[in-house]
Amino acid sequence: MDSRPNLNKRMDHAIDVRDLTVAYREKPVLWDVDLQVPAGVLLAIVGPNGAGKTTLIKSILGLIKSAAGSVLIHGRPYSEQRSSVAYVPQRGSVDWDFPTNVLDVVTMGLYGKLGWIRRPGKAERVEALKALAQVGMEEFADRQISQLSGGQQQRVFLARALVQDARVYFMDEPFQGVDATTERAIVDLLRSLREKGRTVVVVHHDLQTVPEYFDRVMLLNVRRIASGTVPEVFNEENLRATYGGRVAFVSALATPDDH
């Protein structure tokens, strides 16, 4: 378990979530969740289905109403820090048959900077293309999004987040259903973000790769089971507490030195 956060240290945390509780029809979906994330780390959030992982991200971002709790990003409430936060939702959350192309979707990441009514212009186009280059998709700028593969779709979503040049990134299952090349590309991207001192929180579905890809991990099942660095926290006892029974794969994962 994480040591009790020093009040002086509050300013240092990139993400500081306290007592976050979300209820859905009287049933708690997130209960009294605390999460402190220092800047410049890659954090995975893992847990079984229905653990509240997506809910956690969405309530941090204000997309779901919380019954209690506070969220600070770099010491200030989230609502004041929107321009410092980028969101990569699950791929399945949009209709990819929408009549638009790749460049257009990435440009949407700049709408916040543009504000009301202003249309994206040449400058925005250049920035969007740069972000596409970062994910290796510049040639696809004019492609209809309905013609993209799963991995390509994910890269477009990432580019949309990158173009915001945020300090904190929240990603919901970005590795879900992508090909191996894309997966490697995403990991490289996350690492380069970390180099730049950015903080990335990822809802991750694949326990196998947690030790390899991430510095820190949070185990969640409605409550926070544990969170901290991977070596400290990613062990059999905690996994069992998070996932319940399912012994076999749990013990296979929690081999302490393989990473």
Q: Which of 70, 146, 192, 251 binds another protein (CB under 8 A)?
A: 146
Nearest partner of 15 among 54, 47, 46, 61, judged by Cα: 61
Residues in binding contact with another protein, number by CB under 8 A: 30
The verdict on 111 binding another protein (CB under 8 A) reads yes
At 159, list the tokens.
């580019």
CB of 133 closer than 8 Å to CB of 79: no
When the beta carbons of 4 and 27 are compared against another protein, the nearer one is 27
Q: Smallest distance, Å, CB 206 to another protein?
A: 24
Closest among 13, 156, 164 to 86, alpha carbons compared: 164
Give the interface segment with another protein, choosing from 12-20, 88-96, 193-201, 230-238 (CB under 8 A): 88-96
| Three-state DSSP class for residue 204 | coil
Coil/strand/helix, residue 255:
coil
Q: How far apart are CA 228 and CA 232, in angstroms?
A: 6
If one asks whether residue 144 binds another protein (CB under 8 A), the answer comes out as: yes
| Cβ 220 vs Cβ 49: under 8 Å | no
The answer to whether residue 61 forms part of the interface with another protein (CB under 8 A) is yes
User: Under the criterion CB under 8 A, does residue 123 sit at the interface with another protein?
Assistant: no
Of 76 and 246, the one with the shorter C-beta distance to another protein is: 76
Q: Listing from the earlier edge strand, what are the strands of the sheet with 13-24?
A: 27-38, 13-24, 68-73, 76-77
95 CB-side CA count, 13 A: 3
Q: Which of 48, 50, 62, 244 binds another protein (CB under 8 A)?
A: 62
Site for another protein contains 99 (CB under 8 A): yes
Beta carbon nearer to another protein, 157 or 243: 157
Q: Is 100 in the site for another protein (CB under 8 A)?
A: yes
Q: Are 156 and 210 in contact (CB under 8 A)?
A: no
Residue ranges that bind another protein, judged by CB under 8 A: 58, 61-63, 82-83, 85-87, 89, 93-95, 98-101, 105, 108-109, 111-112, 114, 116-117, 119-120, 144, 146, 160
